[in-house]
Amino acid sequence: MTSGQTIFSQLLDYLPLHEFRRCIRRYDGNRRVRTLTCLDQLLAMMFGQLAFRDSLRDTVTCLKSHSSSLYHCGIRGRISRSTLADANERRDWRIHADFAAVLIRWARELYVKDNFGLVLDQAAYAFDSTTIDLCLTLFPWAQFRRHKSAVKLHTLIDLRGNIPCFVHISGGRMADVKSLDLLTIEPGAFYVMDKGYTDFRRLHRFVEASAFFLIRAKKDLDFERRSRRPVDKSTGLRSDQNIVLCGPKTSTFYPEPLRRIGYYAQDIDKRFVFLTNNFALPALAIAQLYKRRWQVELFFKWIKQYLRIKAFYGTSANAVKTQVWIAICVYVLMAIVKKELAIERSLGEILQIVSISLFEKMPLLQAFSLECSRENMSSDRNQLRLFDF
């Protein structure tokens, strides 16, 4: 029975804490810890994310106001702003990165059969980055331009479920294309990217790994057409060609043939040219797959809107990475809860409901139920009506 548990406590029941303890032991996270353990730190920071708290002081004040419920939520230590700040500054951020990887594996298993709008047997990923602007005075280690700092989140999401399966946090100066070197390429999978990742030496790694890439072509691409296929122009397709690169460097970096597909999107009155090393998928399916790349942009928009990653609780690189990884843990946890309980609401709605009901005592399904909301709106609570016909 969960009627006596708070919403916060029920959500935390979905955390595989035995795996988190392994992550702690891997990096000796609780060494010389007296008051605030790594688990206390994780739960307090997750509360800050779930409750939309803007600072550590704000987070700690709200937690102390519910001090009688903290023990039953798993928070055993004494919470204070200074100890929580010290933990974020000093404890290895990789503890939370490894735990996020555990949650991501679980979430991907739950969403593996989800339909993302395209019939495709292989795994499909979208890769992109987003920049978070910072103050140069407070974050000098992340200097981006002369008078500004920034961090970048280089992110690969699984299009089935929009689950982030790779995240690299870097300073703002790191070029997007360099993050391709960090990817572990899955054989047979599709990787969808924007034209900012055009580097044929790096793209050739996908060929060597027996994977497929899909990328927009640049206008000044030097190529020679070898053959073409007929296309149905009523679908928006304009061309489907086999080409080879002719540039002195590009032809050396990428000597194999490429497929070049032209597509006109009538709804936005824009023409696209795609390059891929897949020659089997229909041209229209290639264009539709590239359209799904927008899901990574929506992911960035979602986490910036609903999670606390635009304003950081600490200023060191370790504190920033700790906060980002715990935010990702929260996102993936919400995706797991949504799937496990078959909740019909969107992730944004779920998080908004959680933010105002963390310490209410009711079953999770009742809190997120659409039927419950309708009943509450229509129920007669013995309130007099102004107009009663």
pLDDT higher than 70, residue 205: yes
Paired tokens of 344: 């019909």
Beta-carbon-side half-sphere exposure of residue 269 (alpha carbons within 13 Å): 0
Dump pLDDT digits (tens) for 327-386. 999 999 999 999 999 998 999 999 999 999 899 988 888 888 865 544 444 444 455 444
- At 28 the pLDDT is 92
- Mean pLDDT, range 42-55, rounded to an integer: 93
Average pLDDT of every residue of the chain: 90
- At 376 the pLDDT is 47
**Please, what is the angle between helix 347-357 and helix 317-340, to 10°?**
110
pLDDT higher than 60, residue 1: no
Q: Closest by alpha carbon to 44, among 308, 244, 383?
A: 308
- Mean pLDDT, range 175-201, rounded to an integer: 94
Q: Closest by alpha carbon to 111, among 44, 71, 158, 69?
A: 158
Q: Closest by alpha carbon to 122, among 276, 241, 344?
A: 276
% of the chain surpassing 70 pLDDT: 94
DSSP string, 28-77: TTTTT-SS--HHHHHHHHHHHHHTT--SHHHHHHHHHTTHHHHHHHT--S
- At 371 the pLDDT is 58
Contact 212, 279 (CB under 8 A): no
- At 115 the pLDDT is 85
Q: Which pairing describes strands 163-171 and 148-158: parallel, antiparallel, or unpaired? A: antiparallel
- At 389 the pLDDT is 41
- At 377 the pLDDT is 40
Paired tokens of 271: 């023409």
DSSP string, 81-119: HHHHHHHHHHS-THHHHHHHHHHHHHHHHHHTT---SS-
Confidence of residue 192 (pLDDT cuts 50, 70, 90): very high
More confident residue, 179 or 33: 179
pLDDT higher than 60, residue 149: yes
Residue showing tokens 């040219």 = 273
Domain boundaries, the chain: 7-95+316-369, 195-282
**Please, what is the angle between helix 81-90 and helix 56-64, to 10°?**
130
Dmax (CA) for the chain in angstroms is 83
What single-letter amino acid sits at 367? A
Confidence of residue 77 (pLDDT cuts 50, 70, 90): confident
Of 7-11, 73-77, 109-113, the range with the lowest mean pLDDT is 73-77
- Mean pLDDT, range 293-305, rounded to an integer: 93
The pTM is what? Answer: 0.90
Contact 240, 229 (CB under 8 A): yes
- At 349 the pLDDT is 92
